[in-house]
Every structure is written in structure tokens, then in C-alpha cells.
Amino acid sequence: MNTAEAIRSIRFFNGLPDELADKLASISVIKTHPKDALLFESDSEANGFYAVLTGRMKIFRTSPSGKEHILHIFGPGELFGEVAVFQGGTFPANAQTLEESSTLFIPRSDFRAMLGREPDMALKMMGLLAGRLRSLVNKVDDLTLKETPSRVASYLLLLHSSQNGDTFQLDLPKGQIAFYLGTIQETLSRILKRFVDEGLIELRGKEITLLDKAGLQDLADESR
Amino acid sequence: MNTAEAIRSIRFFNGLPDELADKLASISVIKTHPKDALLFESDSEANGFYAVLTGRMKIFRTSPSGKEHILHIFGPGELFGEVAVFQGGTFPANAQTLEESSTLFIPRSDFRAMLGREPDMALKMMGLLAGRLRSLVNKVDDLTLKETPSRVASYLLLLHSSQNGDTFQLDLPKGQIAFYLGTIQETLSRILKRFVDEGLIELRGKEITLLDKAGLQDLADESR
DNA sequence: GGCAAGCCATGACTTAAATCAAACACCGCC
DNA sequence: GGCGGTGTTTGATTTAAGTCATGGCTTGCC
């Protein structure tokens, strides 16, 4: 894939006039990364932002003692690191590949200049940022107003909604799922066991079957 | 104050050409609200957004059982509810006055149209949204990676940084501060008492004196 | 085949913080 | 001045979830 094809493969750039797409393509760079590669760190200087071409990326924060909290997971076609383009000039969190991946890197200043000339793109970008805000508000809400089993149930239902059957594979190692849900491996393990005991799910390794979706939904809606 | 003066009193609109400022002024409306008035609720339809003229506003989420979590507190000159302008068409959280307040309401569609014609404003808006994202990322981080005393210490230091002496008044009832920090009154009360016992602060009602800022800073930096 | 590494499950224990309950302090107001 | 409401403190108790420690399972690899 060359950068022009890459730009065109990204949903966000749909509708961009050819001339501008080519301009962007000419200044952006395709990078490849092995599994577990760190693309950038919180507070490091940002000269641009990224789009995932292949693979997956996790955006996270860590505590000095090694605990981490995963804020987002992005797959092909999604942008990340764009906050730094508009404010502060540094990244607000860390980005690391979950598997071998490739990305498109787009320099900050040229992109800003383009937004200044393309009101539609600018509005799209505001929509993207607003959507991110919504998802973070929900996260804060979940973390403070819900218990862990409730978040686990939500997560399972979320996974389910992007599958076609009631049986599917967990998309991440359980330790990573725990970090995504704001908890730790052991706690997640115990909660999943409880779900099995209560007949809500079936579990064979990474394969999971939802047996009682209504029950899970009730749990997901519970709050303190 | 009329709407034209109101528009000009809002930092965000600095640099807006007179003609456009007047246009905005002609479509926006000044509203006044008693203390504890609910301006909008989570998921309610949004036809525009607000700027605080006088008073203060809290932006928060609640659980069915009545617990609340305060996401932001905004004072004069600050915008709120703007997320709904760009995405979804509903507000992501509730807004309620903390005291008697007045606001400027700006309709969604006209504002969007204006942004399409004013690239500088658009970039400013992206900066605003990006800043909000940063603050929420920090909140998530605090909530999952730090203990409550650490958040309390941070809050005291934050208040301190916007004052000139080491003695100042708490800006909110303690119950509200607790909700802002993602905890409850009783816990906050106990933590403040501990701080007093440890000689970190002095406390007389709503008046607080920081005695050991370095100690507070250490606490604030602590993490799990 | 067997060994090591990562991943996961489970048990025992600790702990931070929420809940429940009661009393107190302060303030405005009739 | 006393009364009521709101806000605050304090104590006793419970509970969710984290920590520590161990062992087992799987998977890949020499």
C-alpha cells in the first residue's frame, strides 16, 4: 500500500478532494511496527498523529507501580493521537501495538493547514473529538457509578453486538481486558467464574458463549 | 448586559469579526436561572449550547440510586454543552447551576454554519474539545490509578494555585467536592481530618490553610 | 519429548472505602 | 430566642476488590 491508497482507505478522509488527498499523501509516512511496539508515550512531544492501517493499537496510561488503564483500542481505519494536533503539542497517553501493525503518520502542521481550508473536514474532526469525549464521559461514569461485574457484563454484550452468534472468541488476553475495564486479572477471572456458576455464560479458554443475555443486560444496567 | 456585550465578554469569541459577532448576538439568548436550576439532562435533545455569563454551573452524571459524579465546574466566560453541537444531538451529561446564574444560549445550526466560515474559530473549537479530552483522560487516570487521599491532596493544591495565600475558602459545599472527586461526603470528611491530624492542613469550617505543601504534593503524586 | 514462558485460576488475606446510623454545628428565619 | 433545614462529623460495620502467593495449563520451541 502506498500513502495515497492509505489515505483513501481511511474513513475519516472520505470526501476529501483528490488534490488535497494527494497533498496529504505526499507528506504522510507509512510505518510498520512489531507486536508490543511503543509508538509514543504520555507527555512526549507530538509532531503529528496516526491512523491504523493494519493491526490494533492500545491507548493507555500507567501508574509508576506498573498498573495500567486502557482508554481505547483502535483498529484499521481509526485515527489516534489527534488530540495533540490541537492542543498542548504532547500526547495525553501512551500508544502501543497489540500485534504486528502498520500505521500512517500525518504531520501536525500540514494537517492543521488543511483543516483551515476544508470546513467539512474541520466539522468532521470536531465530531470525532466530540465522540471521543462522549466515550470518555461514559467511562468515567462506569468507573465511579458501577461495580466491576456490571462493567464486565457490558463488555461481553459489547463484544456480542459486533459478532453474529452467541459464541465468540475474546478479542484480547484476559489481563488486557481487565486493564480495559479498570480492574485486574484476578478480579476479572473471579467474576467470569461467577457468571459461569450463575449460568450466565459458558467459557472454554478464550471462547465464550452468552447463555442469558437478559441477565447480563440487567447486570450491566445495575449501579451503585 | 445585551447579547452583543455577552458575546464579546466570552474569551472564546475573541478575534471574531464584528459582523459575525453581531450575527451570533442576534440569534443567541440570555437566560437567567435560580440556584440549583437544571439546564439540561443527559440524553435530552440539544438545540444549542451555552456560555456562563455569571454564576457557576456543574456538569455531572447520576446513578439511579442518587449518587452523582461531577465532571466539570464552569464559571463566567466558559462554554458548556458544546459536545452536542458536533455529535449525537443530545447532551452527554446533566447541567445544573450551583448558584443564581445567567447564561448565553447559542443555537446549534447557526453556530455550526459560522464555524464553517471561520477556520480560526473552528481550530479554536478543536483546541477546546482537545483540552476537555485531556482533562477527562486525567480524571480517568486519577480514578483508576490513584487513591482518594491522593485526589483530595491534588484538589487542595489546585485550589491553592488559583489563590494568592495559603489560607482560602473551599469553593463548594463538601458534599459537592466529594462528588467532584469521585467519592462521598463521609470519606472526604475523614480524609480531611487525617490531613489535619498529620499537620498537613488546618481547617476551620470552610476555611482551609495549607501547612505542608510539599507533603500534600507527595500525597498527590502517590499511586497504586 | 520435555522444558520454559506466558497466561490463567484459585485460595488466603488485607484494606480502602462505601454504607448505615446517629448526633452535631451552623445559619437563616419566623 | 428557638426552630428547622442543610451540611458536616463521627462511629460501627460491611463489602468489594486489591494484594500476595502458588500451582496448573497451554503453547511454542529446542
How would you class B204 by CB atoms within 10 Å of its CB: exposed for 0-12, middle for 13-18, buried for 19 or more? exposed
pLDDT for position A222: 86
Residues 6 or more apart whose CB falls under 8 angstroms from that of B83 comprise A130, A133, A134, B91, B92, B129, B132
Which residues of B, range 66-85, sit inside 8 Å of A by Cβ? Answer: 67, 69, 71, 82-85
- Strand pairing report for B94-97 and B57-62: antiparallel
Angle of CA points A216, A222, A223, to nearest 5°:
150
Angle of CA points A160, A34, A139, to nearest 5°:
40
Cα distance between residue B49 and residue B105, in whole Å:
6
- Strand pairing report for A94-97 and A48-54: unpaired
Cα distance between residue B143 and residue B148, in whole Å:
8
Question: Residue A102: which of A175, A28, A162 has the closest Cα?
Answer: A28
Cα distance between residue A224 and residue A151, in whole Å:
12
Q: What are phi and psi of B129, to 5 degrees?
A: -65, -40
Cα distance between residue B57 and residue B38, in whole Å:
10
Amino acid at B7: I
Question: Residue A42: which of A59, A56, A27 has the closest Cα?
Answer: A59
Strand D atom within 7 Å of A149 CB: yes
Chain A residue closest to B120 (CA)?
A116
Query: Which parts of chain B sit beneath pLDDT 50?
Result: none
Query: Hey, are the CB atoms on B69 and A144 less than 8 Å from each other?
Result: yes
Report the gap between the CA of B167 and the closest CA in chain A (Å): 31
Question: Residue B183: which of B221, B133, B146 has the closest Cα?
Answer: B146
What Rg do the C-alpha atoms of chain B give, in angstroms?
19
Quote the longest CA-to-CA distance of chain A. 59
pLDDT for position A42: 96
pLDDT for position A65: 83
Mutate to test the interface with A, among B60, B117, B136 (most CBs of A within 10 A): B136
Which residues of B, range 171-190, sit inside 8 Å of A by Cβ? Answer: 182
Distance B214 CA to D3 C1' (A): 45
Cα distance between residue B72 and residue B96, in whole Å:
11
Spatial contact of B53 and B11, defined as CB atoms under 8 Å apart: no
Residues belonging to chain A: 224
Cα distance between residue A156 and residue A210, in whole Å:
8
Bridge partners, residue B38, by sequence: B96
Residues 6 or more apart whose CB falls under 8 angstroms from that of B23 comprise B110, B114
Query: Hey, are the CB atoms on A136 and B141 less than 8 Å from each other?
Result: no
Question: Residue B35: which of B200, B172, B183 has the closest Cα?
Answer: B172
Amino acid at B155: Y
Rounded alpha-carbon distances, angstroms, from residue A133 to A74, A188, A223, B1: 15, 26, 22, 32
Cα distance between residue B13 and residue B17, in whole Å:
9
pLDDT for position A196: 96
Bridge partners, residue B33, by sequence: B101
Judged by a CB distance cut-off of 8 A, whether residue A134 touches chain B is yes
pLDDT for position B65: 84
Spatial contact of B58 and B96, defined as CB atoms under 8 Å apart: yes
Residues 6 or more apart whose CB falls under 8 angstroms from that of A7 comprise A13, A16, A21, A24, A25, A28, A104
- The pTM assigned to this predicted structure is 0.95
Scanning every strand, the nucleotide with its C1' closest to B181's CA turns out to be C17
pLDDT for position B86: 96
SS3 A119: helix
Spatial contact of B130 and B122, defined as CB atoms under 8 Å apart: no
Angle of CA points B55, B61, B66, to nearest 5°:
105
Query: Hey, are the CB atoms on A140 and B116 less than 8 Å from each other?
Result: no
Nearest residue to C25 via alpha carbon and C1': B205
For each of chain A's 224 residues, which pLDDT tens digit applies? 899 999 999 999 998 999 999 999 999 999 999 999 999 999 999 999 999 999 999 999 999 888 999 999 999 999 999 999 999 999 999 999 999 999 999 999 999 999 999 999 999 999 999 999 999 999 999 999 999 999 999 999 999 999 989 999 999 999 999 999 999 999 999 999 999 999 999 999 999 999 999 999 999 998 88
pLDDT for position A147: 96
